[in-house]
């Protein structure tokens, strides 16, 4: 297969995806629902951040969740324990969620009764960056155990995210050498408007500010 054919195929896939993403964005706007797309490596703590965020914003933010996984519904089960509506998407091998899949999932959520939808993408720091889902913002998550060179090495997701969550700061110490300031500066150089929160989803440290940020965005979405 010629290289141009491959490029053309990729271009068409992205263009179809963008059409679905626009449809999703329109549907969410009609319902005044704020939507975040959480992107990170496997094991950086997306699900723990979600359960913590749902608990801490309960009463202010009526949340729904779309869980993307290659296989299993382990994460969806963890979300279900928080008693918010959750829809599982299994990609069966695919490395990212598509806007069409998210569109089908949105139809299964009670959007009229929600203020925010959190989409947990497949754990992958590369491919999800290229696929818009109709979200208001991408949230990139980096755990301190992954090392502070990751913004430079995997730039696309950090360039396109509105928020960077540096997670697992409870692990900082002699065993984990991670320079939070360096990551903040790398991310800001790449993406001047990125907003960084430094948190431990496990202990709750720093999560308050991140939850306030969501509550403000939800108010703006309602005001429309």
Least distance from C-beta 219 to a second copy, angstroms?
Answer: 34
Going by their DSSP bridges, the two strands 116-120 and 137-143 should be labelled as unpaired
* 69 binds a second copy, rule: CB under 8 A: yes
136 vs 201, beta carbon nearer a second copy: 201
Among 146, 198, 207, 217, binds a second copy (CB under 8 A): 146
Interface residues for a second copy in 12-51 (CB under 8 A)? 12-13, 16, 41-44
SS3 sequence, the chain? CCHHHHHHHHHHHHHHHHHHHHHHHHHHHHCCCEEEEEEECCCCCHHHHHHHHHHHHCCCCCEEEEEEECCCCHHHHHHHCCCCCEEEEECCCCCCCCHHHHHHHHHCCCHHHCCEEEEECCCCCCHHHHCCCCCCEEEEEEEHHHCCCHHHHCHHHHHHCCEEEEECHHHCECCECCCHHHHHHHHHHHCCCCEEEECCCCCCCCHHHHHHHHHHHHHHHHHC
Is residue 1 at the binding interface for a second copy, with CB under 8 A as the rule? yes
By CB under 8 A, residue 71 contacts a second copy: yes
Does 4 help bind a second copy (rule: CB under 8 A)? no
Per rule CB under 8 A, count of chain residues that contact a second copy: 42
Binding of a second copy by 127 (CB under 8 A): yes
Answer for which of 26, 74, 107, 110 binds a second copy (CB under 8 A) is 74
Taking a C-beta distance cutoff of 8 angstroms, is the pair 97, 89 a contact? Answer: yes
Q: Residues 150 to 189: which contact a second copy by CB under 8 A?
A: 150, 152-156, 168, 170-171, 175-176
C-beta of 186 vs 196, nearer to a second copy: 186
Q: Is 112 in the site for a second copy (CB under 8 A)?
A: no
Using CB under 8 A, list all residues that contact a second copy.
Answer: 1, 5-6, 9, 12-13, 16, 41-44, 69-72, 74-75, 93, 95, 122-127, 130, 143, 145-147, 149-150, 152-156, 168, 170-171, 175-176
């Amino acid at each position: 297969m010629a290289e141009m054919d491959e490029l053309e195929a990729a271009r068409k896939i992205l263009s179809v995806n963008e059409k679905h993403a626009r449809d999703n964005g329109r549907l969410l706007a009609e319902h005044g629902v704020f939507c975040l797309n959480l992107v990170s490596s496997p094991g950086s703590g997306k699900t723990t951040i979600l359960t913590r965020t749902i608990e801490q914003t309960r009463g202010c933010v009526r949340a729904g969740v779309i869980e993307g996984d290659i296989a299993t519904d382990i994460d969806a089960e963890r979300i279900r324990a928080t008693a918010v509506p959750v829809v599982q998407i299994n990609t069966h091998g695919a490395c990212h969620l598509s806007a069409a899949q998210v569109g089908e999932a949105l139809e299964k959520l009670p959007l009229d009764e929600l203020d925010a939808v959190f989409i947990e993408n497949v754990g992958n720091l590369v491919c999800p960056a290229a696929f818009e889902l109709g979200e208001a913002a991408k949230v990139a998550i980096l755990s301190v155990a992954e090392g502070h060179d990751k913004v430079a090495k995997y730039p696309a997701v950090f360039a396109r995210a509105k928020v960077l969550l540096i997670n697992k700061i409870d692990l900082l110490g002699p065993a984990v050498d991670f320079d939070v300031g360096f990551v903040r500066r790398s991310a800001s150089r790449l993406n001047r408007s990125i907003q960084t929160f430094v948190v431990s989803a496990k202990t709750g440290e720093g999560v308050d500010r991140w939850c306030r940020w969501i509550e403000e965005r939800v108010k703006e979405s309602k005001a429309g």
